[in-house]
Amino acid sequence: MADKQDVQPGTLALMILRTLEVLGPLHGYGVARRIEETSKQKIQLNYGTLYPALVKLEQEGFVRAAWGQSENNRRAKYYSLTAAGRKRLAQEAREWRRTADLISAFLARREEAP
C-alpha cells in the first residue's frame, strides 16, 4: 500500500474530465478503473470520492449524465463531457502545466551563485 497515492486536491475533476474527453461516455466504474489504470494503479478511487465529484461536475454543467445499459446488461449512469466541460478541461490543463513548470524550476538542480 505504500505505493498508493492520494489524489491531490483539485486534481480529481481534471482526471475525470480528461478521461471522458479521451474515452467518451463512461459509467462511474469505468471512469474509476481508467483513472487507476492511467496512474498504473498508484491511485485507487473509492466511490465515496468519485461519485460526489461526478455529481458536482454534473451540477456545474461540465458533464452530462444519462442512464444506459452496461457491458454486463446492468442499468448504469453514463457520464459525458459537455462543451463547458471541454473549456474547463482546457483551462485546468493550462493552469496545471503552469504550476508544474513553476515547481520544476524550483526542483531543478542548479549551481548556487557564490
16-62 pLDDT, tens digit each:
999 999 999 999 999 999 999 999 999 988 888 899 999 999 999 99
Q: Does residue 16 fall inside a structural domain?
A: yes
What's the CATH code of the domain at 58? Answer: 1.10.10.10
Please give the residue range of the domain that contains residue 39: 11-107
Q: Does residue 3 fall inside a structural domain?
A: no
Q: Does residue 51 fall inside a structural domain?
A: yes
Question: Picking from 1-10, 13-22, 54-63, 87-96, which range would have the lowest pLDDT averaged per residue?
Answer: 1-10
> Mean pLDDT across the chain, nearest whole number?
90
Backbone phi and psi for residue 68, each to the nearest 5 degrees, phi listed first: -155, -175
Q: Does residue 32 fall inside a structural domain?
A: yes
Q: Does residue 6 fall inside a structural domain?
A: no
pTM of the model: 0.85
DSSP secondary structure string for all residues of 40-52: TTS----HHHHHH
**Domains in the chain, number:** 1
User: Model confidence at 2, in pLDDT bands (50, 70, 90)?
Assistant: very low
The closest alpha carbon to 28, from 1, 49, 10, belongs to: 49
